[in-house]
Structure 1
Amino acid sequence: MTVTKTLKSYRGIPYEVAKQKLQMWLDAMDAIATGQSYTIGSRSLTRANLNDIQSQIEYWSSIVTKCESGHKSIYVQRAIPQDF
């Protein structure tokens, strides 16, 4: 049995925040599915573009997935060779 540790954050974004943002964008996609825009009296509302919402869902989903899989960020270090 493999036990995977959930990271608390990925690239400085807390896991719980990433889950909330992902749910927010999923809810936004549901709202667009019921109607892109509507008008009540003299007021109107036009929701965000579906392509923008889908790219946000992919972004937040990847962060949540990386946190849940225990994937850590890649760190780049610099080494300076010295001649002794």
Structure 2
Amino acid sequence: MMSIWTKEELKTHIAAYKEALLSCSQGKSYSVGSRSLTRSDIPEIREMLGYYEEELNKLDKVKSSFIVQAKIHGSFRR
């Protein structure tokens, strides 16, 4: 399954939400895009971090998972 995101986009979003989590956990507000987040939004921030991390894992899995088929001709006698 592919992701609609590039790896760079996902890393940018993850960094933004990590910053938001840190700020909100200290009682400050933080903005991501047009959205202002506060301490009460911490569960949503964690959910978004999970989503972006999952999307990043999908990209890594697609790029690292492949099947190699080979047909060996000849004999290997010792």
TM-score, structure 2 as length reference: 0.58
Comparing both chains, which one has the higher relative contact order based on Cα–Cα distances under 8 Å and sequence gaps of 6 or more?
A: 1
More displaced stretch, 24-33 vs 47-56: 47-56
Give % identity.
15
Contact persistence 2:24–2:37 (CA under 8 A): no
1:70 to 48, 51, 62: 62
Paired residues for 1:4-83 under 5 Å: 10-36=2-28, 47=38, 49-70=41-62
Aligned length: 56
Deviations 1:9-65 (A, max 9, x none): x4321111011101111111011121156xxxxxxx862611110110110010111
Question: Greater share of strand residues, 1 or 2?
Answer: 1
Q: Which runs of no fewer than 5 residues in structure 2 stay unpaired?
A: 30-35, 64-78
Question: Greater share of helix residues, 1 or 2?
Answer: 2
Q: How many Å apart are 1:67 and its aligned residue?
A: 1.3
Aligned-pair RMSD on alpha carbons? 2.6
Q: Which runs of no fewer than 5 residues in structure 1 stay unpaired?
A: 1-9, 38-44, 72-84
Q: Distance in 1 between matches of 2:4 and 2:56?
A: 13
TM-score, structure 1 as length reference: 0.54
